[in-house]
A and B are shown apart, each in its own frame.
Chain A
Amino acid sequence: MSKIKKGKFTVEKLLSLYEEGKSDKEIIGIFPENEKEIKEIFLLFSELKNGKEFLNPSRNLLDNTLERIENNVTETEKNRYVYKADEKNTGRFGQLKNNNNFMSIFKKLLITGTSIVVIVFIAVGFNHFSGNGKDKFTLSKESQTPIPSVFIAGVETLDEILSDIDKESAQEYSLAKEYDNDYDLATVDAQLINEIGQIYDENTL
């Protein structure tokens, strides 16, 4: 007994019944009013089944593919664009014909390019960190010109700079401390006001 409820005919219902193994006559028995449509769809089924018989690869191909799999290259693949390339061996098709291993060439170029970039980076990095490049480094003409005296006047020694930094940090520390004290004072005031508020109760007076 089919699980499909009769109801209105749909192609989905027909397919479900067909999957259950029902023949065209049996399905027509369930949906007699759709006999023509059911027959046409069954005709389509048989046409498509015929396709299975006739859509087959060439015998030659079946015989040779295994052999060619060993080399990872097939003759048909090699000749994929030959029909166009023969007409005019230029442009896209011509290039593809001449470069069967186009992808592998591209990959090689990519790998070589990346390797070169990496080597250059390593060389520059090594040169920079080992300090070998210091002696070779020369100043340009502009940078060799003396610095104007107005800037020289402001230049200090390392000790002076360090002591300046110490002074600045001590000043900052004292400022921060002052701020803390102000904050404490403010909170104490607020607390006192609060306490006065508690002592002074209108209702008790």
Chain B
Amino acid sequence: MIKDGNTDLRNIIDRAKNGDKEAFSLIYNQYFSPVFRYTYLRVGNKSIAEDISQEVFIKIYNSLVRFDFKDNLVLPYFFTIARNTIIDYKRKTKNIEFLYEFTEDFKDNVSGIQENLFKKEELFEVLKKVVELPEDQQEAITLRFINGYSNREISIILEKKEDNVRQLQSRGLRSIREKLLQKI
């Protein structure tokens, strides 16, 4: 696993800048899934999330030559591209409401917990509540609890203070909990 900010990653980025596809595939393997998960919960639809994630990586691939490792960290750089791509996509398709529903395709695509239908249903409900949150709370929760980034990393990605990030997470968690309790 390559870590953001260390020399390994710097070498890999430099190699990718020079057109080394193997190096880019390492970056891709490291960051594609977190970007996909983040995108999935922002748009609530798997195939659209796949489209957007691909677009994000094409943009990353094309802009890597201009990326300056000294001034930027990889993680915020990738997520900024992802955020902008999602915003752009939502702007373009703002009249197409059905795209933003957290669809049942999640249940069909979830693998590994078929043996426990109850868990699957529960997970679906929780993630659906995440999708329904306001965008800033949704981002703070997805990046922390699903992608597993620290609040320091999230504060850099979202360009917010750590306390503000924690506040967003707190509001989001309270809201999810209340909604789930109402359902029971």
**Beta-carbon contact of A55 and B40 below 8 Å:** yes
Closest to A84 in B: B96
Question: Which chain A residues numbered 48 to 77 have a C-beta less than 8 Å away from chain B?
Answer: 48-58, 61-62, 65-66, 68-69, 72, 74, 76-77
**Beta-carbon contact of B50 and A58 below 8 Å:** yes
A54: contacting residue among B61, B110, B147, B173, CB under 8 A: B110
Majority SS of interface residues in chain B?
helix
**Beta-carbon contact of B55 and A62 below 8 Å:** no
A51: contacting residue among B47, B109, B127, B169, CB under 8 A: B127
**Beta-carbon contact of A57 and B33 below 8 Å:** yes
**Beta-carbon contact of B126 and A66 below 8 Å:** no
Residue from A10, A11, A48 whose CB has the most chain B CB atoms within 10 Å: A48
Assess whether B11 is interfacial by the CB under 8 Å rule.
no
A27 to chain B, nearest CB (A): 14
When chains A and B are docked, how far (Å) is the Cα of A104 from the Cα of B171? Answer: 43
When chains A and B are docked, how far (Å) is the Cα of A196 from the Cα of B50? Answer: 99
When chains A and B are docked, how far (Å) is the Cα of A66 from the Cα of B148? Answer: 25
User: What per-residue 1/0 map shows which CB atoms of B22-61 lie under 8 Å from chain A?
Assistant: 0011001100110011001100000101110111011001
A202 to chain B, nearest CB (A): 78
Assess whether B151 is interfacial by the CB under 8 Å rule.
yes
**Beta-carbon contact of B112 and A53 below 8 Å:** yes
When chains A and B are docked, how far (Å) is the Cα of A62 from the Cα of B21? Answer: 14
When chains A and B are docked, how far (Å) is the Cα of A66 from the Cα of B26? Answer: 11
Assess whether B160 is interfacial by the CB under 8 Å rule.
no
When chains A and B are docked, how far (Å) is the Cα of A77 from the Cα of B53? Answer: 11
Chain A residues near B130 (CB-CB < 8 A): 48, 51
| Contact A52-B57, Cβ < 8 Å, known A16-B166, A47-B122, A76-B47 | no
| Contact A56-B36, Cβ < 8 Å, known A12-B166, A47-B123, A66-B25 | yes
Assess whether A80 is interfacial by the CB under 8 Å rule.
yes
When chains A and B are docked, how far (Å) is the Cα of A76 from the Cα of B148? Answer: 28
B50 to chain A, nearest CB (A): 5
Question: Which chain A residues numbered 69 to 99 have a C-beta less than 8 Å away from chain B?
Answer: 69, 72, 74, 76-77, 80
When chains A and B are docked, how far (Å) is the Cα of A125 from the Cα of B40? Answer: 56
Chain A residues near B110 (CB-CB < 8 A): 54
A196 to chain B, nearest CB (A): 78
**Beta-carbon contact of B54 and A55 below 8 Å:** no
Question: Which chain A residues numbered 1 to 55 have a C-beta less than 8 Å away from chain B?
Answer: 10-12, 15-16, 19, 37, 40-41, 44-45, 47-55
**Beta-carbon contact of B177 and A40 below 8 Å:** yes
B51: contacting residue among A19, A41, A56, A76, CB under 8 A: A76
Assess whether B6 is interfacial by the CB under 8 Å rule.
no
B133 to chain A, nearest CB (A): 12
25 contacts between A and B (CB under 8 A): A15-B170, A19-B150, A19-B151, A40-B181, A41-B177, A44-B173, A45-B145, A47-B126, A48-B126, A48-B130, A50-B113, A50-B123, A51-B37, A51-B126, A52-B147, A52-B148, A57-B50, A58-B109, A65-B28, A65-B54, A69-B57, A72-B58, A72-B62, A76-B50, A80-B51
Instruction: Enumerate chain B interface residues (CB-CB to A < 8 A).
Output: 21, 24-25, 28-29, 32-33, 36-37, 40-41, 47, 49-51, 53-55, 57-58, 61-62, 109-113, 119, 122-123, 126-127, 130, 141, 145-148, 150-151, 166-167, 169-170, 173-174, 176-177, 181
Given contacts A58-B109, A62-B29, 9 further A-B contacts (CB under 8 A): A15-B170, A40-B177, A49-B145, A50-B113, A50-B123, A54-B112, A56-B33, A56-B36, A68-B54
